[in-house]
Amino acid sequence: DLNLKGKDFLALADFSPSEILGLLEKAKKIKELHLSGESYTPLKGKTLGMIFEKSSTRTRVSFEAGMYQLGGNALFLSSNDLQIGRGEPISDTAQVLSQYLDGIMIRTFEHEKVEELAKYASIPVINGLTDLFHPCQVLADLLTIMEIKGELKGLKMAYIGDGNNMVHSLMIGAAKVGMDFSVACPDGYKPEEKVVNMALEFAKESGAKIVVTADPIEAVKDADVVYTDVWTSMGQEAENEIRLKAFAPTYQVNEELVKHAKDDYIFLHCLPAHRGEEVTAGVIDGSQSAVFQEAGNRLHAQKALLVELLK
Ligand code: CP
Ligand code: NVA
């Protein structure tokens, strides 16, 4: 049995391979219940606060709907309206919210802010995306791969593009579950070295092979999963033009590039996507794309997480 009650979910690095796989098993069961129309309400009377300092479609709606489906409630808290926006310390906010709520999900810029919130909160804190990590997305991604491929260990994932929060969490997740992971990024946009080193450590235990290269063809070669994300993440809008020049056309996932992947490769993207930039319409809207199943799995994966942390 999983024993995650009261824990924070800030980064996949804090969880063992069996805890990650356990969450995925739980998510599968919760998804089956949901699809069969059976109600499952273990979080009756529980409230999740959701602090957003950045935009969101999937994260907000899947957490909110997920809490309702589990019998609880969710509160959308925009940082523009909270006193944090006017300088109330995170530490005070954490202690106050802990008096009212059963859990906090937060999406913000600096990862340290989430760590600070978790340090002072007496209730579980869930990372709904920081500049460094996006662990909830990777739970949904792994669930999707498992559903389609039947396994995780021994597969190869290729990530092409910006060495951002997504690639950091994917790399740690892959290393934990024993999936080979090759990432191709241009110079200046590589994943952070401290994260790569963490992944290499976890990979030693799982047997996964982690490769960082500048060559998209090398990365995609024989991949089971091809993944990309936007070239300009939230908060980097001022760099948009310079980033376009750094990534286009070499780091675009297009019909030509995916020829190097396995014939039965699947395409994943956390969304939102920019067709014609990091991926062509032909690939993301093609028959091997699983991006909507992936987006749907945010709901089921996070419901599993909420039940385990808050029950
Ligand atoms: N993938 C993801 O987190 O999407 P949102 O920004 O819409 O939440
Ligand atoms: N890397 C993107 C992911 C969005 C879900 C961002 O941080 O904006």
Q: What is the pLDDT of residues 191-219, one digit of tens each?
A: 999 999 999 999 999 999 999 999 999 99
Q: How confident is the model at residue 80 (pLDDT cuts 50, 70, 90)?
A: confident
Q: Which ligand is nearest to the CA of 169?
A: 2
Q: How confident is the model at residue 85 (pLDDT cuts 50, 70, 90)?
A: confident
Rounded mean pLDDT of the chain? 98
Of the chain, the percentage scoring pLDDT greater than 70 comes to 100
Q: Is 62 in the pocket of ligand 2 (CB under 6 A)?
A: no
Active site residue 269: no
Active site residue 270: yes
Secondary structure E strands in the chain = 47-52, 73-78, 103-107, 125-127, 156-160, 180-184, 210-213, 225-228, 266-269
Give the pLDDT confidence score for residue 91 in this predicted structure. 98
Give the pLDDT confidence score for residue 79 in this predicted structure. 87
Which atom of ligand 1 sits closest to the CA of residue 60?
8
- pLDDT, mean of residues 33-61: 98
Active site residue 107: yes
Considering 168, 229, 300, 302, which one is annotated as catalytic?
229
Report the predicted TM-score, pTM, of the whole model to 2 decimal places: 0.98
